[in-house]
Amino acid sequence: MADHKPTVPTGHSDGLVTEQLPPTKSGFVGYKTTYSEKQKEAKYETPKAP
């Protein structure tokens, strides 16, 4: 079995980015997923009195 696992390029998709984390002592390779906001929250303004 190989000691070195190949690195995976950073994945870009609509609204998220997936990055490979460094291997742990046991050899487990994890991934980190970062989500970008699809919507922006608008500041609430109280309506004017009639």
Q: For the whole model, what pTM was predicted?
A: 0.56
- Residue 30: which domain range? 8-35
User: What tens-digit pLDDT sequence spans the chain (50 residues)?
Assistant: 456 667 888 888 888 999 999 888 888 889 999 998 888 888 999 999 88
**Residue 27 maps to a domain:** yes
Instruction: Report pLDDT for 33.
Output: 93
Considering its fold, how many domains does the chain have in total? 1
Provide the strand spans (E) within the chain: 11-13, 16-20, 31-35
